[in-house]
Amino acid sequence: MIAEIPQPLPEFHCPLCGGPNDCAAAANCSFTAPCWCREVTFAAELLARVPEPMKGRACICRACAEAAAAGQGSLTDSSPPMS
């Protein structure tokens, strides 16, 4: 049996900082929509901070992804994610 891929949540805010995530998948209700996030690599530590119900279903914003990639900011350190 083939596992069903969940649809993206209609969530337009980053699950970490609460800012806009510019998520094309959420806007189109499909993971097949082209999106900026397909061009970047998200650190495992950053992905681990996403709240469990939103993992694999809500997009981290570009600012959080870039800050993590640059090793900057508290998002990759010890600040709790905003809900």
Decide if 82 is inside a domain: no
Structural domain including 23 reads 1-77
Q: What value does the mean pLDDT of the chain take?
A: 78
Decide if 71 is inside a domain: yes
- Examine the pLDDT at 37 and tell me if it is beyond 70: yes
Q: Which residue has the higher pLDDT, 21 or 81?
A: 21
Question: What pLDDT is stored for residue 78 in this prediction?
Answer: 38
Q: How many domains does the chain have?
A: 1
Decide if 32 is inside a domain: yes
What per-residue string of b and e applies to 42-71 under the rule 16 or more CB within 10 Å gives b? eeeebeebbeeebeebbbbbbbbbebbeee
Decide if 14 is inside a domain: yes
CA angle 17, 57, 26 (to 5 degrees): 85
Decide if 83 is inside a domain: no
Q: Which residue has the higher pLDDT, 6 or 25?
A: 25
Decide if 6 is inside a domain: yes
Confidence of residue 5 (pLDDT cuts 50, 70, 90): low
CA distance 40 to 37: 6
Decide if 39 is inside a domain: yes
Decide if 65 is inside a domain: yes
Confidence of residue 74 (pLDDT cuts 50, 70, 90): very low
Tens digit of each residue's pLDDT (9 = 90 or more) over 57-67: 788 999 999 88
